[in-house]
Amino acid sequence: MPDTVLPKPTPPSSPVPSTTPQVVPPKPTIPAPRPLSSAPTSALPPSRFQPVATKTAPVLPPSTLTALSSMSSSQVPNTKLSQNVPDLENKTAPTSPQSVSDMIKVVPEKTKGATAPAAKLASLKKSPLRFLPFALIALVVVGGIFMAIKTFSGGKSTSVTPPSSSGSSSGAGSKTAAPAAQTAQATTIEYWGLWEPAEVMTQVLADFEKENPGVSVRYTKQSYRDYRQRLQTAIASGNGPDVFRFHASWTPSLSAELARMPSSVYSASEFQKTFYPAAASQLQVQGQLVGIPLMYDGLALFYNKEALTTAAVDPPKTWSELRTLAAKLTIKSGSTIQRGGVALGNAVNVDHFSDIVALLMLQNGADLAKPNSAEARDALLFYTNFQKADGVWNSTLPSSTTAFARGETAMFFAPSWRAHDIAAINPDLKFGVAPVPQLSDTRIAWASYWAEGVSQQSKQQDIAWKLLKYLSSKEVQLKLYSDQAAVRPFGEIYSRTDLADQAASNELVRPFLQDAPFASGWYLSSNTFDAGINDQMIGYYENAVTGLLGSSSMSSVLTEVEQGTAQTLQQFSAK
């Protein structure tokens, strides 16, 4: 039997013990959801409504001690911090390639048909006058024949062959059938990208076309606005792309649109050896692979080098160290925060707050699909205490990315692409990146990345999968990274595990690669702009965090999150 089936994925709820990609065993079916009493069921972002809890009395989670229990109190731990910050070296980006057009399209060359020459008339010899009447009659007859020939050979009739790229028309006749047949046999692959400009994709796609004569790849960079909705609408109408980019967390939402990958592209075992564990867990539908990642990203801790050097400490490796250091790095003037210690504690101006909360819950042993638990409770308390108890951050400051770039917070959490935003806002800022802090010796990190899939409606699935196998090869990923690094500080992080060493010298990329073998993803991924499973789920946690900072009780908050989670999972057929 071909090695094509992967185990069904489950919500990440336990530590990943090693760097070897593991197959996640099936979990019991989630009980039927308890619907909200007045929450809408549309796919609009949930932040636009306030879910209403049921009238039944909320049930508190059991008083279980968790890894965060001792740190969820309002007292900042007196943790000894590591000394000395290593000075990391900056690297130079590759040179820029030549710019190209936004579309890549191979147009078959047209063959110009030769125009048939006009018939050549024989000259008339002089004849005696006695033959003049006969000569006049002959001239009339020949003149008629000449006009007839001219009409058929040199008139203004329209050619059936489309004009060539230069604008000239092909001639009439049997020779026009050849280019028409050639055009009909050409295969065009429509490819919807999302983040990469066309100039980055040009060369690798042109190389693919050279290796596959008769195949043309038309790449279009789509806008992220309403992208998921437009994608599904286009596929349903029969006008969608053959290949498209999608977020890994969208897999359940796109299960009807995603074609299943043939084992000739990647077998299940080959896929798990080639890519990081999160890909094998998320990019499958009922055990069948449905996508190939061309990049990886997740969450890491960004820190201001000057701030940590002045404090004579290293980046924190544990959450206890982080909380102690955040208090030490905070600068206040009265009650006003002039520099936050770390951007944590609320859902208003902490970019990627949902990813951070999800990471804390996973590290604390919570089941994200069943959040009404002691593990989830302690994770939420620990998170909100950075603002409510410690006062190292608040909602009066700018968004965390902007605040960090301006030097208004010493640390914040973000994916790798935020480094480009920081460099654009403040090119002079000296900052570093570190792996996410841990709660125990069992390492757990967060993954949030995009992948490429093939449309179930595509009539060119074999060529489409061949294209994705080519794009995910070592040689092409190296080429893509180089072309991406020519237009920004660094390219998308390699999705292949065997290329990790290639980017290890980049201090901004290395921490993400160090965490990648231990990372899991779920439906709390920020900045997917899906107006669907992520945005809806994030809305419930936004309400929860805001409620805890206000007057809401923990029991009511957990009940609301539990109901919202169950409803959203059911709506999008997810687990």
The per-residue pLDDT string of the chain (575 residues; one tens digit each, 9 = 90 and over) reads 455 566 555 555 444 434 334 333 343 333 333 333 333 333 333 333 333 333 344 445 555 557 776 666 666 666 666 655 444 344 333 333 333 333 333 333 333 333 333 333 333 334 444 444 455 555 544 455 444 444 333 333 322 223 333 333 333 333 333 443 444 468 999 999 999 999 999 999 999 999 999 999 999 999 999 999 999 999 999 999 999 999 999 999 999 999 999 999 999 999 999 999 999 999 999 999 999 999 999 999 999 999 999 999 999 999 999 999 999 999 999 999 999 999 999 999 999 999 999 999 999 999 999 999 999 999 999 999 999 999 999 999 999 999 999 999 999 999 999 999 999 999 999 999 999 999 999 999 999 999 999 999 999 999 999 999 999 999 999 999 999 999 999 999 999 999 999 998 999 999 999 999 999 999 999 999 999 999 999 999 999 999 999 999 999 999 999 999 999 999 999 98
Residue 544 inside a domain? The answer is: yes
Tokens 């929450």 — which residue?
39
Taking the CA of residue 147 as centre, how many other CA atoms within 13 Å lie in the half-sphere pointing to its CB?
A: 6
Amino acid 135 reads A
Residues 255 and 355 in one domain: no
Distance of CA 216 to the CA centre of its chain: 24
CB contact at 8 A, 364 and 51: no
Interior angle at CA 434, CA 471 and CA 475, nearest 5: 15
Residues 542 and 400 in one domain: yes
| Per-residue pLDDT, 109 | 35
Using alpha carbons, select from 242, 204, 287 the residue that is nearest to residue 478: 204
Q: What are residue 296's DSSP bridge partners? A: 493
DSSP annotation of 317 reads S
Q: How far apart are the first and last CA of the chain?
A: 28
CA atoms of 302 and 107, how far apart (whole Å): 47
| Per-residue pLDDT, 143 | 53
Residues 417 and 316 in one domain: yes
Token pair, residue 506, equals 């980049």
Q: Is 483 helix (H, G, I), strand (E, B) or coil?
A: helix
| Per-residue pLDDT, 554 | 98
Residues 220 and 351 in one domain: no
List all residues 6 or more positions away from 538 whose beta carbon is below 8 Å from its beta carbon: 45, 46, 47, 354, 524, 526
Residues 289 and 307 in one domain: no
Measured CA distances, 494 to 19, 296, 325 (Å): 16, 6, 32
Residue 247 inside a domain? The answer is: yes
| Per-residue pLDDT, 337 | 98
Residues 540 and 396 in one domain: yes
The CATH number for 206's domain is 3.40.190.10
Domain total in the chain: 2
Residues 307 and 243 in one domain: no
Residue 221 inside a domain? The answer is: yes
CA atoms of 536 and 32, how far apart (whole Å): 18
CA atoms of 408 and 28, how far apart (whole Å): 46
Measured CA distances, 138 to 124, 132, 293, 500, 574 (Å): 10, 10, 81, 90, 91
Residue 176 inside a domain? The answer is: no
Report the C-alpha dihedral over residues 33, 38, 44, 50, rounded to 10 degrees: -100
Residues 334 and 399 in one domain: yes
Residues 328 and 287 in one domain: no
Q: How many residues does the chain have?
A: 575
Domain with 229 in it: 183-297+449-500
Residue 509 inside a domain? The answer is: no
| Per-residue pLDDT, 66 | 75
Q: What are residue 218's DSSP bridge partners? A: 190
Q: Are strands 243-247 and 187-193 parallel, antiparallel or unpaired?
A: parallel
Measured CA distances, 40 to 135, 298, 527, 533 (Å): 97, 31, 22, 14
Residues 257 and 400 in one domain: no
Residue 58 inside a domain? The answer is: yes
Residues 279 and 323 in one domain: no
DSSP per position, 514-570: HHGGGEE--S--SS---SSHHHHHHHHHHHHHHHHHTT--HHHHHHHHHHHHHHHHH
CB contact at 8 A, 535 and 523: no
Using alpha carbons, select from 533, 532, 482 the residue that is nearest to residue 503: 482
CA atoms of 523 and 355, how far apart (whole Å): 9
Residues 336 and 440 in one domain: yes
Measured CA distances, 130 to 123, 140, 407 (Å): 19, 18, 113
DSSP H or E run through 178: helix 177-185
Q: Is 320 helix (H, G, I), strand (E, B) or coil?
A: helix
- Three-state SS letters, 204-220: HHHHHHHHCCCEEEEEE
- Alpha helices (runs of H) in 400-549, residue ranges in sequence order: 400-406, 418-425, 461-471, 474-485, 510-515, 533-549
Residue 39 inside a domain? The answer is: no
Q: Is 498 helix (H, G, I), strand (E, B) or coil?
A: helix
